[in-house]
Amino acid sequence: MAQVNWLSLVYLVVSTLFGLVAIWVLDSVGLRGATILGAWLNFAGSVLRIVPCMVVGTQNPFAFLMGGQSLCALAQSLVIFSPAKVAALWFPEHQRATANMLTTISNPLGVLVANMLSPALVKKGEDILLMLGVYAIPAGAVCLLSTICLRESVPPTPPSAGAASSTSEKFLDGLKLLVRNKAYVILAVCFGGCIGISYSFSTLLQQILCASGYSNGFSGLCGALFIAFGILGALALGPYVDRTKHFTEATKIGLCLVSLACMAFALVSLLQGQALALATTCSLLGLFGFSVTPVAMELAVECSFPVGEGAAVGLIFVLGQVEGIFIMLAMMALTVQCSERSFSTCQQGEDPLDWTAASWYSSSTPHTGACRQSLASPPPPRTRRPWAAQTQGGVWTEGEREGLGSWGPAGRLRSARRG
């Protein structure tokens, strides 16, 4: 079972070790180069995972599987760090939170599709090759499309004044500014804990529920509800924040609700025969956890000006990966074997584990983060539109909209003069 856990844990480890490299690639090479590199790494990893299934007598097949997973993890780092940069460079101000939300939920949406498709493809051990082959097809298609179709990192016409006047700090200087930014550090630590809990929940869900007598099919359903309701929550919260600009309030409330949902899951998961309550808590945990992700990312970009978007978001995710590693290792260390549980449905040939202490430990992590985020009062985010201080509440006046509506040299000149 430890090897199975490492297939997920390798994503956290690789993202932690190479996260800063991915941040540098995004901010220095640009979106086009980072996207193409990520597509090729993902395709190479997908092919490498198939090798032990196709070549008979392969020595140490698990090493090939872990190597493929590691390449895919490298690709994921470039993908999950990029939504805020895509939103900032390709979309106007009033659409950024929605654009950030749509690009962010694409990753869990792919996980949801894989979770539903894998059981249908794999009926016996010999079907694993079919599953890996099916997953390599879209990876190859994306690799081909990104290499051929992506021509520029930025649009020919800037969608907003902020995109046209982007003046990001150099990589190392930007990291120093982030570490010294109190508001950013508070957000990074609190939201990083939320990311770590999400990774741990997705990885260990089946092992926790089987010890309480729930089937693997029900565990898969809870995992699907976790992702599905998270996507629905993000779809609802993104446009709302775009209209109201309540980034800070939405993040604080979201983290507090995640904390409550974690405590509810820690309690209900230890009980037998509570399928409806478990499904509800998993749905709420996803609803609150995933929905706050694009909002917190946009808030991180705003409060870290003039640091680049890739660095502002990437450092939070790197910290989240580190917290996720410690949370998962601590949870596995806190488990104890309990052979007397006859109702267990675990099928690994080992005694079921008691997850009581581990579950309560995991629920305390977001609770602590939510308290820190709620009690702390960081200053309002520094906008990436330097001239916005002259407007009322950060909303453009009618004259500014006219100047930016037909985005040409005159519009840029008027915006510069306003700054």
The structural domains of the chain, with segments of one domain joined by +, span 1-82+122-153, 170-341+349-360
The encoded tokens of residue 143 equal: 């690799």
pLDDT band at 168 (very low <50, low <70, confident <90, very high): low
DSSP 20: H
The encoded tokens of residue 141 equal: 């298609």
pLDDT score recorded for residue 43: 92
pLDDT score recorded for residue 156: 75
| pLDDT of 278 over the 70 cut | yes
Per-residue pLDDT tens for 74-83? 888 888 878 8
Of 70, 69, 40, whose CA–CA distance to 143 is shortest? Answer: 40
Q: Under CATH, which architecture does the 170-341+349-360 domain have?
A: Up-down Bundle (1.20)
pLDDT score recorded for residue 40: 93
Q: What is the mean pLDDT of residues 96-116?
A: 79
pLDDT score recorded for residue 280: 92
Q: What is the mean pLDDT of residues 342-354?
A: 62
Pick the more confident residue, 317 or 161.
Answer: 317
| Average pLDDT score, the chain | 75
CB 324 within 8 A of CB 290: no
The gap between the terminal CA atoms of the chain, to the nearest Å, is 58
pLDDT score recorded for residue 227: 87
Sign of CA dihedral 379, 384, 386, 387: negative
CA distance 374 to 230: 22
Residue 306, preceding bond cis, omega within 30 degrees?
yes
Of 239, 87, 101, whose CA–CA distance to 160 is shortest? Answer: 87
The DSSP line for 127-176 is GHHHHHHHHHHHHHHHHHHHHHH---SS-SS-SSHHHHT--PPPHHHHHH
Q: What is the mean pLDDT of residues 336-345?
A: 65
